[in-house]
Amino acid sequence: MFSVSVRIEKEVLSTYQTTLLRGGTIVRTYRTRRAHYLVRRIVDFLYRNEDGYQIRMMRLQGNTKIRKKYKINSTRICGLIDPSSRLIFVDFRYDPIATIVHEALHALYPNKRERDIAKMERLVMRYITEAQVVIIWTLAERCMRAT
């Protein structure tokens, strides 16, 4: 469980978005708990892959086939999810982890607005650890091999 209290040195406090309590015990704030909850949901989504999503790394910007098929007017596309065909497209020239997180959030929360998804993505990317990045990338690679 990620909400367990952790004892750390006071010098390290500035790197953690936490609240200092008695005796140097650090308890994660609501935002940190929310971010780790979202990471767990994303990891679970990629690990189980019950819906059979496939991830395709490709160049999206300038790809007229994809832009016409999905009716995209934006000039800068980092990622795209197609729930009907269970495909997640990721442009490899931008941050692939942030894009995979963003598109996985779209799959997990299909009724959320783009603004809310972007806000959740920023929260996750702010608090994600290196170990979690490795786990997400490993699971994403497994979804890429399924193609």
Q: Is the pLDDT of residue 10 over 60?
A: no
pLDDT for 28 equals 65
> For 147, which DSSP code?
-
CA–CA gap between residue 85 and residue 105 (Å, rounded):
17
pLDDT for 118 equals 93
Q: Is the pLDDT of residue 21 over 50?
A: no
- Architecture per CATH, domain 33-145, reads as 2-Layer Sandwich (3.30)
- Token pair listed for 64: 């007229």
Q: What's the pLDDT tens digit per position in 35-56? A: 989 999 999 999 998 888 999 8
CB 103 within 8 A of CB 78: no
Continuous segment of H or E residues that includes residue 120: helix 114-127
Nearest C-alpha neighbor of 85 from the set 58, 114, 51, 111: 51
pLDDT for 75 equals 67
Q: What are phi and psi of 38, to 5 degrees?
A: -65, -40
Q: What is the pTM of this model?
A: 0.75
Average predicted confidence (pLDDT) for the chain: 79
Q: Where are the domains of the chain?
A: 33-145
Which has more confidence, 58 or 71? 58
Give strand pairing partners of 26: 6, 20
pLDDT for 144 equals 86
Q: How confident is the model at residue 60 (pLDDT cuts 50, 70, 90)?
A: confident
